[in-house]
Each structure stands twice: as structure tokens, then as C-alpha cells.
DNA sequence: ATTTATGCAAATCATTTGCACATAG
DNA sequence: CTATGTGCAAATGATTTGCATAAAT
């Protein structure tokens, strides 16, 4: 297994994920980082996000219908996305280990992970509608 | 609201979703339909799949990391995808209405839907590994 | 006759990859 | 020195869209 190196880019990407607590997309992270380090490329951002989530330093949130998000908070938890403003929020639902156990019969399937994303309308957007 | 028309393409697409019970992708459906109706275009398939799922005649399964799937079975249910062979199966988990209720505090969020996809290794692929 | 649908190609969006060059170990 | 990382642009994969034409009501 190849070993990973410490680079300015990687440090910056990790730090930016820690600072942006709004579940940013790769694109949003890239734009934010480019304010301080204008030459960083999208490819580098994607590559490092992948690597950082593989080693568990950040969390990769796979969104079903839009760009994936990244999270500084790496404990198991779920998310809810507002269909109007597209923002993603954490959800207080401490049943991560319970969910897979709810399956009645998994036909010999070895379950490794599960992705659960809620969707709806956030409080702010409910207000705006009126 | 505009009204929808009956076309040979739409009928074929709906019928093919009913017949292919393996949660096909739009691409797979398109290829299958082209055996009988070679001139059908991918765009027509996508457009009709969208329309048919909007009116509830088929189910659109949004996959987090790969092409979406389509399902003839429209009742609320969940899916599990094998990371090896990429096949998608139904999961016996009759708690659809329970899941959203498990959220402790949704901060004024109006939950409309939720997507839950399990991932792992299916029985066949477990066997093949040995 | 009017409006929705089709087929094609081009566009879009998110992400990945090839490659030459740079740099960390 | 050598393997990993970077930046760029091009490639990929899934899906959508513009447009002229066709078909349904």
C-alpha cells in the first residue's frame, strides 16, 4: 500500500473542510480555497477529498440527486436537504446501528454501509413562501 | 397543467419497466426497448421515465453513486446494492413510515421524503470470492 | 389546429483520468 | 532518487435541453 504525503494543498483542503461547517460541495470548497491559494486545481481538490475521506479524516456524504457534500464531523449521522435552498443540515437521529438491524431478511447479503438522506423544506424556506 | 399524451414510446417504456424486474437503469431500459423499436432515443426514454414516475406509475430509485434505477413496484420500500456486481435488490423492511419518526428534532423542517440505500456484498458475490 | 412528444446532437453537471512536471520523503 | 502529488485539459458518465419535425388530441 502506497503512502500518503503531506502537501500544502492537502492541508488547506482539510482545514477548509473543518472551517466550512455547511456541508460544502467539492466545487464550493475549491472556490473557498482559491481565495487563499488561487492556483489549486479542481482535480487536486477532488483527489484529496477522496483520500481524506478514505482515511476517515473527513466524511463524504453522497447525495442522490446532486453534488456530493463533505463534512468535518465524522461520526455516523444523517442529513436532511432542503429542496428549496439546497442547504444540507445534520439530523439528530442516534439510530445508525439500528437501521440495518431493521431489515427482516437480507437473503445472505452482507451489509457494509447505508446511505440515508431526508428531503423537505427547511424553516427559513417555509417562512419565505408566505 | 399540461396534459400527457399516449404514444407508442411511452407504452413501450412503461411495459418494459414492468417486465424488467431487476431495477434497470435508463440505459438498460433503452437498450432493451431498442430490440423491438430501434429508433427510440435515449432522450425519449429519460423524459418518459421522469413523467411516469411523477404520476406514480413507476418508481424512480435515486442511487447515490451511480445511475438511477427504475422499479415496477411502486409501494414504499428500500433497496440494497451489491458493491461487486452492482445489482440492486429489494429489501424487506416495512418501516418506511417509522424512519422519519425516529428523528429527534428536525428544527422546523418539513420532511417530505427520504432515500435509504444499503450497500454490501450479495450472496452470489460472497461465494465467488472463495 | 394546437400542443405535446420524438429524435438527434449538443449542452450540462459532477467527477475522473492521462500526462508532463513538481516536490516530499 | 523515486514515488506520490499537482495542474491542466480532456475524457467520462448520467442526464437534460434546444430545436426542427412528427404525431396525438
Indicate which CATH number applies to the domain containing A16.
1.10.10.10
Indicate which CATH number applies to the domain containing A100.
3.30.1490.190
- Contact criterion met (CB < 8 Å) for B110 and A104: no
- Contact criterion met (CB < 8 Å) for A122 and B113: no
Write out the residue range of the structural domain in which residue B42 sits. Answer: 1-73
pTM for the whole structure: 0.93
Same domain, B95 and B107: yes
pLDDT over 80 at A95, yes or no: yes
pLDDT at A9 (0 to 100): 98
Same domain, B3 and B55: yes
Same domain, A46 and A83: no
Domain's final residue, options A47, A73, A99: A73
Same domain, B28 and B38: yes
pLDDT tens digits for range A45-80: 999 999 999 999 999 999 999 999 999 999 999 999
Confidence category of residue A130, pLDDT binned at 50, 70, 90: low
- Phi first, then psi, for residue B29 (nearest 5°) are -60, -45
Same domain, B66 and B123: no
Same domain, B59 and B85: no
> Can you tell me which residue has its alpha carbon closest to the C1' of nucleotide D6?
A44
pLDDT at B105 (0 to 100): 83
Same domain, B54 and B83: no
pLDDT tens digits for range B18-39: 999 999 999 999 999 999 999 9
pLDDT at A59 (0 to 100): 98
pLDDT at B62 (0 to 100): 98
- Please indicate if any CB of chain B lies within 8 Å of the CB of A118: yes
DSSP string, A41-90: -HHHHHHHHHHHHHTTSSEEE--SSS--EEES--SS-EEEEETTT--EEE
State the total domains in chain B. Answer: 2
d(CA A27, CA B14): 37
Same domain, A90 and A127: yes
SS3 B25: strand
pLDDT over 80 at B116, yes or no: yes
- Determine the average pLDDT of the residues in A91-109: 92
Same domain, A84 and A33: no
Cα B23-B79-B28 angle, rounded to 5 deg? 15
- A67 to chain B: nearest residue by CA? B64
Same domain, A65 and A85: no
Same domain, B91 and B30: no
Domain's final residue, options B73, B97, B120: B73
| Protein-to-nucleotide distance from the CA of B44 to the C1' of D18, whole angstroms | 14
What rounded mean pLDDT belongs to chain A? 95
Exposed / middle / buried, residue B62 (Cβ in 10 Å: 0-12, 13-18, 19+) = middle
SS3 B83: coil
Same domain, A105 and A121: yes
| Protein-to-nucleotide distance from the CA of B127 to the C1' of D16, whole angstroms | 40
Domain's final residue, options B73, B91, B113: B73
Nucleotides of D under 7 A from a protein CB: 3-10, 13-18, 23-25
Confidence category of residue B2, pLDDT binned at 50, 70, 90: confident
d(CA B114, CA A111): 19
Amino acid at each position: 500500500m502506497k503512502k500518503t504525503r503531506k502537501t500544502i494543498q492537502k492541508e488547506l483542503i482539510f482545514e477548509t473542510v473543518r472551517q466550512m461547517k455547511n456541508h460544502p460541495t467539492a466545487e464550493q470548497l475549491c472556490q473557498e480555497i482559491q481565495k487563499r491559494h488561487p492556483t489549486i486545481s479542481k482535480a487536486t481538490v477532488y483527489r484529496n477529498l477522496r483520500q481524506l475521506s478514505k482515511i476517515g479524516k473527513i466524511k463524504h456524504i453522497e447525495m442522490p440527486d446532486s453534488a456530493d457534500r463533505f463534512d468535518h464531523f465524522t461520526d455516523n449521522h444523517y442529513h436532511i436537504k432542503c429542496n428549496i435552498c439546497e442547504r444540507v443540515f445534520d439530523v439528530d437521529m442516534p439510530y445508525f446501528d439500528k437501521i440495518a438491524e431493521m431489515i427482516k431478511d437480507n437473503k445472505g447479503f452482507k451489509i457494509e454501509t447505508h446511505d440515508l438522506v431526508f428531503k423537505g423544506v427547511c424553516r427559513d424556506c417555509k417562512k419565505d413562501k408566505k
